[in-house]
Structure formats: structure tokens, C-alpha cells
Amino acid sequence: MVSRVIPVDVFDLVVFGGTGDLAQRKIIPGLYRRYWGGHIPPESCIIGAARSDLDDAGYRALAREAIIEYVAEDKRDPEIIEAFLARLSYVAIDAKGTGGWDKLKARVRKGTVRAFYFSVAPSLFGDLAERLHLHGIANPESRIVVEKPFGRDLESAKALNAVLAQHFTEAQIYRIDHYLGKETVQNLMAVRFANILFEPLWKSEYVDHVQITVAETVSVDGRGSYYDRAGAMRDMVQNHMMQLLCLIAMEPPYHFDPDAVRDEKLKVIRALDPVSPDDIVRGQYLAGNGQGSYLEHCEDPASKTESYIALKVNISNWRWKGTPFYLRTGKRLRARTSEIAITFREPPHSIFDDAEGWRENVLVIRLQPNEGMNLKVMIKEPGPGGMRLTQVPLDMSFAEALGESGADIPDAYERLIMDVIRGNQTLFMRGDEVEAAWSWTDPIIEGWEERGDKPMPYDAGSSGPEDALMLMHRDGRRWREIRE
Ligand code: NAD
């Protein structure tokens, strides 16, 4: 199966923070891959803008290094690289200063899609938005892309929204959550709403519980003091995991349209119950395998910030009342894996005597590694030994099932940037969605801060703190094993 290439319109994309880590690791290599794939018209321009004193040649050299480092060899065609680099230029600009803006204004063309990627600290978003207007660089059709973190609580998220709203309408603002750009995450919507098979069962009557796991093996070493101001709840749950939960739990939108989808997600967030302290387990990894502990990495021996969190979340609406969603995420765990597992209930009555062999149906949606789906179903154990039951996976790896085009799943960032150029906001968070997510998150965090709760230690390379196991055991359930 060959993927259909639908090029976007000619665009001018200004990457503020174009020399930074994100631009070099994700944005520039991602744009190159789309150029290589024929999605980007050759007349398009990418303009790096940052504080460093570089010229166009210097910026192209930086971009060439990024392509060599982060693009797979089979896509590194010297001719295409040169043609792509020729579309790049650079303007030295301080977001808080006055220099460089007129030069930038002269670079952006009339009649092309104009987008500004704010790949800088959120504290600079307001300065950039203001100066883009002051210098007449942004027009009513321009789009801005803003990075996470979008606030650290409701108040700061509201302030950020307000600052952006002074100069841009909601339809111009693209708040990135790169999880939404992952192939499998979008497939979640296709699986639910393009098949008749699952939707009738997609409710508490048939679903026993849902597990969402985002496990990482890496530590926070090198960015510990930054991470310590956030923790797993702010860094992963409030945004990425919340988005996954919404896509699983939302009602079918009337159309695959940005506001229709986001309206449904918002309703889910508003229906989330407050989480009781008994339903939260937080942890900090210990030293192990030659690496330091969380407390060493964050350089604060008294830190109470969590590098792991597990929580049981209930949704109070007709569809989900009685079906808990168990969320867990952490650093320095046994394996790097992200998955959603939907466990169905027992059949109402078994006609088979083999109760022991019976297992629940589970639909597992893997986000990484090996994006794909796996449905566990019961069959008869082969052989003449009577009617015994066994469970087998109906396994679908997207890479295998879709052949060449499946093996070439684009990175989330490149897909999302193409959506910005197309003007499609479906996979971006709306301002009210972000604020609703913080409204749910804030009291949970305030609760443990007021109580002075200390995270439980857990072994590096383990599945997290022991207490997290109990969170499910006491409900007669168990976590799925964390493995690649
Ligand atoms: P970085 O520190 O590596 O780069 C920051 C960039 O901003 C540099 O190009 C720098 O020159 C520029 N800059 C700094 N101050 C400036 C100013 N006053 N005026 C103009 N430019 C200025 O940061 P990063 O890791 O690339 O992160 C950029 C944004 O993306 C941040 O909001 C971050 O939270 C977010 N983000 C990054 C990652 C990642 O993997 N790096 C992941 C998710 C979100």
C-alpha cells in the first residue's frame, strides 16, 4: 500500500528558537522528511529566528548537522538535502528586543501561508505575539504554534491564553501536544468511529477497566532541576495522558472536524471526578545500574516531586460510570512502552466447564514501540484434550500490516506541522480544553502539597512503587506487565 501524498500550500514558516534542542532534533529533521516525501512545495521557506548571531550559511550548516544526526540514512539524499537547505534562512532576533523584526518582515511573502512556531520558553510567548503584531508581520490568517508546557496550573494557563488572545484568535493558535500527532493515537479514532465492531461495547456495561501506561527507562539526569518544578503529574498526566483518556472516553463527534472533536474531549475532562488521595501513588526512583537516584538528579535531597505516578480516575457520565481508568507513568522503569489496554467484562454466562482457562478479552493499543493493536480473544485449545479454552492475540503491527507505508510512519511533529499549514486544528488542544485539564489537576496537586505527602521510593528498572500494585489489587485487578 502506498501512502497518498497530498502536498500542502506554499508556506513561510518562522521557527523562533530555531537553534534550540527541539528545532534541531524534531522540527528541522521533520520538515526535511516531509520535503523528501514530496509534501512540501519547493517554493516554501523556513526561517530560523533566535538570539544567536548567525547568518544564513551558518544556519544551514546547523540544519545540515541536524539532518545527518536525526534523519535515517535511507532518506538522506544529498541533492534533496541541498535543495531543502536552500529554502532555509536565518534572522537574529531577541524576543524581548527591537532588532531583527524589520528584516523578518521583509522575508515573509504576501499570498503564502504564514506560520510562526514558538519553540522558545513559554515566558517569551507574549513578547513574540506582541512584536509580531507591532511590526505588522502577523496577519489575520497567520498561525502560531506553541509548545508545552502550557502553564503549570490553571492560573498560569489562563494568563498564557490571555496573552495570546490579545493578538491572535483561537482559530490561529495551535497548542502542540505531540502525543496527538502519533499514528496510533489518530488510529484510536479510526478504530472507534470507522468500525461498527467496538463502539457498541465501548461503555461500562462491557468494559471492566482501562489502563493507560506511559513508561520510560530514562532518568531526569541533566534536566533534573527543571523537571523537579513539574513532576510526572504536570509533565505527562495533565496533557498527554489526559488526551489519550479523552480519545478513549469521548462520545462520537458529529463530524471529524476540529471543534466537534474538541467539544467532545472537553466534555470528558469536565466529567472527571476529583481523585481521592487513596487512589494516588507517587514515587521517586532510587539509584541503580550505575546511575544516581531522583534526589541526586534533581539536586534537592528534600524534593517531594514525583518521577512516577499511578492514579485511579473515574468518569461521571452515563457511558463510563463504574469503569475506572488506571493511569501510570514514570521514569527509570523496566521498559520504554506506551500503551492503552481496554479490558472487557466476563461473558454473562459460561457454557464451558473450563472456567480456569478463561481470560478477559483485552484490546491493547500500542503507541510505542511498534505502533499497533492486539486483541486478545478466547479460542479452543488445539488438540484432542476436550473442550479447553486458551487465549490468543489477534496481533496487528501497523508496520507489518501496511507494508512500506506502515514502516514509514511519520514522526508526530512532522504530521502536526503539516496540519498547521493545512489549517487543521483537530489534533491541537483548544484553550478551554487546557484550562479544564488544569482545573482537574490543580486540586490533586494542591492536596498532596498541603498534606506534605512524600513520594515512595522505587527501584530503578522496576515497575514502580509496590503501593501502585495495591492500587489495582485491592480492586481485584492487576497492572499489565511493563515490557517492550
Ligand atoms: P532550548 O533551550 O534548547 O532552545 C531555546 C531556543 O530559544 C534557542 O534557539 C534560543 O536561542 C532561543 N531563545 C532563547 N531566548 C530567546 C530570546 N529572548 N529571543 C529569541 N530567542 C530566544 O529549548 P528547547 O528544548 O528547544 O525548547 C523550546 C520549547 O519547546 C520550550 O517551550 C520547551 O518547553 C518546549 N519543548 C521542548 C522539548 C524538547 O524535547 N526539547 C519537548 C517538548 C517541549
Give one DSSP letter per residue of 371-417, joined into a string.
Answer: -EEEEEEEEEPSSSS-S-EEEEEEEEEHHHHTHHHHHTPPPHHHHHH
The minimum-distance atom of ligand 1 relative to the CA of 149 is: 34
> What's the 211 CA to ligand 1 centre distance in angstroms?
33
Inter-residue contact 331 to 216 (CB < 8 Å): yes
pLDDT of residue 312: 98
> Does any ligand 1 atom lie closer than 6 A to the CB of residue 390?
no
Q: Is the dihedral of CA 427, 428, 430, 434 positive or negative?
A: positive
Cell numbers given for 200 = 457498541
Output the pTM of the full model.
0.94
Tell whether ligand 1 has an atom less than 6 A from the beta carbon of residue 321: no
- Select from 15, 19, 22, 103 the residue to mutate for testing ligand 1; criterion: most ligand atoms less than 8 Å from CB: 22
Q: What is the pLDDT along the chain (484 residues), one digit of tens a residue?
A: 445 677 899 999 999 999 999 999 999 999 999 999 999 999 999 999 999 999 999 999 999 999 999 999 999 999 999 999 999 999 999 999 999 999 999 999 999 999 999 999 999 999 999 999 999 999 999 999 999 999 999 999 999 999 999 999 999 999 999 989 988 888 889 889 999 999 999 999 999 999 999 999 999 999 999 999 999 999 999 999 999 999 999 999 999 999 999 999 999 999 999 999 999 999 999 999 899 999 999 999 999 999 999 999 999 999 999 999 999 999 999 999 999 999 999 988 888 877 777 788 999 999 888 788 889 988 888 888 788 888 888 887 766 666 655 556 678 899 999 999 999 999 999 999 999 999 999 999 999 999 999 999 999 999 999 999 999 999 999 999 998 8
Q: Of residues 167, 209, 240, 297, which has the active-site annotation?
A: 240
Residue 167 designated active-site: no
DSSP letter assigned to residue 333: B
Ligand 1 neighbourhood includes 96 CB (under 6 angstroms): yes
Q: How many A from CA of 23 to the centre of ligand 1?
A: 8
Task: Indicate whether residue 95 lines ligand 1 (CB < 6 A).
Answer: yes
